[in-house]
């Protein structure tokens, strides 16, 4: 016997979870399956910016940039605990792009999409009079600052899944869709968990949000003929001990006309990325290569006084962008815009190709407008002005931090900051009635305690050490191999959900 739902979503990255949330909020019954952990692929390997993409202006992608800029403040409102404003510094290099061109670009960036209401606008600065000049090499005298926003990317995915689940969606992690076929007015899909348990789901509509595997899903699992080809482009980042001591990020223009960001990361580090490399291998586990590391070191050494070498790298990660193939020869120039397509030749199938984290909510809204029509659901879009994501709300994040610290003076400033910027108002649920660190249970290194681990198991589908150390948090940067072993042993004792 198979169960029947309105929507089966395949893929637990940002697009799949965003669509599941929007759908269940419009009254549809939803099952989402993700073959690994939530956000284990592209959606945790991004540069973590909610941005319009200044450089896409040069490619005349005004529609994409306008759409993305309009989303910045919508998302800041929805999740102020995991998304926050970030100011960027662009040192001026007249031989790469003249000042007039940058001024026009920034003017457009400030005004396109009517997206900027609370974020400050751009301006020109002199490095001799500003803290951001200190780490820069002496040849840089002037530059520009402008606004974008930072996001804890994997947490954005998890919060969308949590909200979807709270509204009634069923979220199945470590569950792969192994076949999908049309039967009358329904899709019949076979799901298989990591432990080999199979389950059949009958769905009125199917969403293919398989990211880099979206074309493969159509070819090998749904056996649907299509004309799309995805161009896979690997992007890598390196993390190094912090290169400077202030809260601004830098955007560095390179002689090959690419740009590389240097961003304050996890308090003690600097994140540097990204590269853009054609990729043909299986997108499951992309890794950085020596040339990419050298490129990123050189890219920063052109600007900072401090010389960076590959030996400084403490961590790196790579992800694969699934971009819809176009005629562009250069990987950096393939459009970053998304394409959603509804195939109504039988039971509806909605395919998602490409996209950015920044535009996931808009993409989900458009997907549900299309699917709603196909399924006879007339409930209106709700996520732009609707309730916030779990832990979010209309609060001032500093006031929330003060409140958490005042009621729990035994929490260090660093730990309280981290918890509030991961869990927002839910920090209080996580800490419960604890009256000291000992009351938080077993210690797993850094400031990770059993109470947080149990919360992540109970509410956020964490099952493995990596889920906790590299996606729900970035404590992997701070714990020892012994800590990881203890956490792994603890998780092994937890009964399966
Ligand atoms: C290097 C890099 C930097 C980026 N920086 C930014 C940025 O700063 N800002 C921004 O807005 N965007 C950025 N992006 C883009 C953004 O990360 C992606 O657009 C987004 O994460 C894509 O999400 P997705 O849900 O489509 O794919 P994914 O996150 O890859 O999710 C697809 C999921 O489908 C699952 N899946 C596949 N097949 C099956 C199956 N048969 N059954 C079950 N599950 C399946 C996979 O396991 C995977 O988890 C960046 C991308 C890269 C690569």
Domain check: are 87 and 188 in the same one? no
How confident is the model over 46-58, as a mean pLDDT?
90
Please write the tens of the pLDDT for every residue from 324-352.
Answer: 776 556 666 666 788 899 999 999 999 99
Q: Is the CB of 319 under 6 A from ligand 1?
A: yes
HEC per residue, the chain:
CCEEEEEEEECCCHHHHHHHHHHHHCCCCEEEECCCCCCCCHHHCCCCEECCCHHHHHHCCHHHHHHHHHHHHHHHHHCCCCEEEEEEEEECCCCCCCHHHHHHHHHHHHHHHHCCCCCCCCEEEEHHHCHHHCCECCCCCEEEEEEEEEECHHHHHHHHHHHHHHCCCEEECCEEEEEEEEECCEEEEEEEECCCCEEEEEEEEEEECCHHHHHHHHHHHCCCCCCCCEEEEEEEEEEEECCCCCCCEEEEECCCCCEEEEEEECCCEEEEECCCEECCCCCCCCCCCHHHHHHHHHHHHCCECCCCCHHHCCEEEEEEEEEECCCCCCHHHCCCCEEEEEECCCCCEEEEEECCHHHHHHHHHHHHHHHHHHHCCCCCCCCCCCCCCCCCCCCCHHHHHHHHHHHCCCCCHHHHHHHHHHHHHHHHHHHCCCCCHHHHCCECCCCCEHHHHHHHHHHHCCCCHHHHHHHHCCHHHCCCHHHHHHHHHHHHCCCCC
176 lies in some domain:
yes
Q: Quick one: pLDDT at residue 148? A: 95
Q: Quick one: pLDDT at residue 332? A: 64
Q: Are 234 and 320 in contact (CB under 8 A)?
A: yes
Please state the separation of Cα 173 from the chain's center in Å. 17
Question: How many percent of the chain have pLDDT more than 70?
Answer: 97
59 lies in some domain:
no
For residue 181, CA distances in Å to 208, 232, 348, 360 come to 13, 26, 12, 27
What spatial distance separates the first Cα and last Cα of the chain, rounded to whole Å?
22
53 lies in some domain:
no
Q: Is the CB of 355 under 6 A from ligand 1?
A: yes
Q: Pick the closest to residue 357 from 56, 172, 79, 154 (CA basis).
A: 154
How confident is the model over 403-420, as a mean pLDDT?
97
Q: Are 127 and 13 in contact (CB under 8 A)?
A: no
Q: What CATH number is attached to the domain comprising 319? A: 3.30.9.10
137 lies in some domain:
yes
Q: Is the CB of 169 under 6 A from ligand 1?
A: no
Q: Quick one: pLDDT at residue 37? A: 98
Q: Quick one: pLDDT at residue 327? A: 57
Predicted confidence (pLDDT) at residue 321 exceeds the cutoff of 80: yes
CA 154 – CA 44 distance, rounded (Å):
5
Most confident of 91-100, 361-370, 488-497: 361-370
Predicted confidence (pLDDT) at residue 117 exceeds the cutoff of 90: no
92 lies in some domain:
yes
Domain check: are 405 and 272 in the same one? no
Q: Quick one: pLDDT at residue 333? A: 66
Domain check: are 138 and 250 in the same one? yes
Domain check: are 144 and 243 in the same one? yes
Q: Quick one: pLDDT at residue 364? A: 98
Predicted confidence (pLDDT) at residue 474 exceeds the cutoff of 60: yes
How confident is the model over 318-326, as a mean pLDDT?
86
**Ligand 1, closest atom to CA 210?**
34
> Which of 211, 220, 354, 364 should be mutated for ligand 1, with most atoms under 8 A from CB?
211
**Ligand 1, closest atom to CA 212?**
30
Q: What CATH number is attached to the domain comprising 420? A: 1.10.8.870
**Structural domains in the chain (count):** 3
Q: Quick one: pLDDT at residue 69? A: 92
> Which of 286, 356, 362 should be mutated for ligand 1, with most atoms under 8 A from CB?
356
Domain check: are 345 and 481 in the same one? no
Domain check: are 318 and 359 in the same one? no
Rg (CA), the chain: 23
Q: Quick one: pLDDT at residue 497? A: 63
Write the residue with the smallest CA distance to atom 41 of ligand 1.
177
How confident is the model over 160-177, as a mean pLDDT?
98
Q: Quick one: pLDDT at residue 93? A: 87
Q: Which of 333, 367, 385 is the last residue of a domain?
A: 333
Please state the separation of Cα 145 from the chain's center in Å. 24
How confident is the model over 242-263, as a mean pLDDT?
95
Please write the tens of the pLDDT for every residue from 75-87.
Answer: 999 999 999 999 9
Q: Quick one: pLDDT at residue 77? A: 93
349 lies in some domain:
yes
Domain check: are 403 and 472 in the same one? yes
55 lies in some domain:
no
Query: pLDDT class for 219, splitting at 50, 70, 90?
Result: very high
Residue with tokens 């956490």: 487
Q: Pick the closest to residue 5 from 208, 202, 207, 222 (CA basis).
A: 202
Q: Are 260 and 252 in contact (CB under 8 A)?
A: yes
Q: Quick one: pLDDT at residue 240? A: 98
Domain check: are 422 and 438 in the same one? yes
Q: Quick one: pLDDT at residue 262? A: 98
Domain check: are 316 and 356 in the same one? no
Predicted confidence (pLDDT) at residue 469 exceeds the cutoff of 70: yes
| Domain containing residue 202 | 3-42+154-228+335-375
Q: Is the CB of 212 under 6 A from ligand 1?
A: yes
CB atoms within 10 A of CB 57: 19
Q: Is the CB of 72 under 6 A from ligand 1?
A: no
Q: What CATH number is attached to the domain comprising 366? A: 3.50.50.60
Q: Pick the closest to residue 44 from 480, 493, 469 (CA basis).
A: 469
Domain check: are 34 and 163 in the same one? yes
Roughly what angle, to the nearest 10 degrees, separates helices 62-78 and 99-111?
Answer: 50
Roughly what angle, to the nearest 10 degrees, separates helices 481-492 and 450-460?
Answer: 50
Q: Quick one: pLDDT at residue 3? A: 78
How confident is the model over 273-290, as a mean pLDDT?
94
Domain check: are 243 and 202 in the same one? no
Mean pLDDT in the chain?
94
How confident is the model over 86-92, as a mean pLDDT?
96
pTM: 0.97
Q: Quick one: pLDDT at residue 355? A: 87
Q: Are 14 and 362 in contact (CB under 8 A)?
A: no
For residues 136, 140, 141, 146, the Cα torsion angle rounded to the nearest 10 degrees is -70
Q: Is the CB of 15 under 6 A from ligand 1?
A: yes
Domain check: are 169 and 263 in the same one? no
Query: pLDDT class for 55, splitting at 50, 70, 90?
Result: confident
Query: pLDDT class for 373, splitting at 50, 70, 90?
Result: very high
Most confident of 326-330, 375-379, 454-458: 454-458
Q: Which of 375, 407, 429 is the last residue of a domain?
A: 375
385 lies in some domain:
no
Predicted confidence (pLDDT) at residue 233 exceeds the cutoff of 70: yes
Residue with tokens 């959603």: 340
């Amino acid at each position: 016997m198979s169960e029947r739902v309105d929507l089966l979503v395949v893929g637990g990255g940002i697009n799949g979870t965003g669509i599941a949330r929007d759908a269940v909020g419009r009254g549809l019954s939803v099952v989402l399956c993700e073959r690994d952990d939530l956000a284990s692929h592209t959606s945790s390997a991004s540069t973590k910016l909610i941005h319009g993409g200044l450089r896409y202006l040069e490619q005349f992608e005004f529609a994409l940039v306008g759409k993305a800029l309009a989303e910045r403040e919508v998302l800041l409102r929805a999740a102020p605990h995991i998304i926050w404003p970030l100011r960027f510094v662009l040192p001026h290099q007249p031989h790469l792009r003249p000042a007039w061109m940058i001024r026009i670009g920034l003017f457009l960036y400030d005004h396109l999409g009517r997206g900027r209401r609370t974020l400050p606008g751009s301006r020109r600065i002199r490095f001799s009079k500003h803290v951001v000049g200190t780490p820069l090499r002496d040849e840089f005298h002037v530059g520009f600052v402008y606004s974008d926003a930072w996001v804890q990317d994997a947490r954005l995915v998890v919060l969308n899944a949590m909200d979807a689940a709270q509204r009634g969606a069923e979220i199945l992690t470590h569950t792969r869709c192994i076949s999908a076929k049309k039967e009358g007015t329904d899709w019949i899909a076979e799901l298989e968990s990591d432990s080999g348990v199979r389950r059949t789901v009958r769905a009125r509509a199917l969403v293919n949000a398989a990211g880099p595997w979206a074309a493969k899903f159509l070819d090998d699992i749904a056996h649907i003929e299509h004309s799309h080809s995805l161009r896979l482009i690997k992007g890598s980042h390196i993390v190094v001990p912090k290169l400077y001591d202030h809260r601004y990020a830098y955007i560095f223009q390179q002689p090959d006309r690419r740009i590389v960001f240097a961003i304050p990361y996890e308090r003690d580090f600097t994140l540097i990325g990204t590269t853009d490399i054609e990729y043909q291998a299986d997108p499951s586990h992309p890794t950085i290569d020596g040339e990419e590391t050298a490129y990123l070191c050189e890219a920063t050494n052109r600007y900072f006084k401090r010389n960076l070498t590959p030996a400084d790298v403490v961590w790196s990660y790579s992800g694969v962008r699934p971009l819809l193939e176009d005629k562009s020869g250069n990987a950096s120039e393939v459009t970053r815009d998304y394409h959603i397509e509804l195939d109504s030749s039988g039971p509806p199938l909605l395919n998602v190709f490409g996209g950015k984290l920044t535009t996931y909510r808009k993409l989900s809204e458009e997907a549900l407008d299309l699917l709603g029509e196909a399924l006879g659901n007339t409930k209106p879009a709700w996520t732009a002005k609707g309730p916030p994501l779990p832990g979010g709300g209309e609060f001032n994040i500093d006031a929330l931090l003060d409140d958490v610290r005042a009621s729990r003076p035994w929490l260090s400033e660093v730990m309280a900051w981290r918890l509030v910027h991961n869990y927002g108002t839910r920090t209080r649920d996580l800490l419960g009635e604890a009256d000291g660190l000992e009351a938080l249970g077993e210690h797993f290194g850094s400031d990770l305690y059993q109470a947080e681990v149990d919360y992540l198991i109970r509410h956020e589908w964490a099952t493995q050490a990596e889920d906790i150390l590299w996606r729900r948090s970035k404590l992997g940067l701070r714990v020892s191999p012994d800590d990881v072993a203890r956490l792994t042993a603890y998780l092994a004792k937890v009964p399966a959900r």
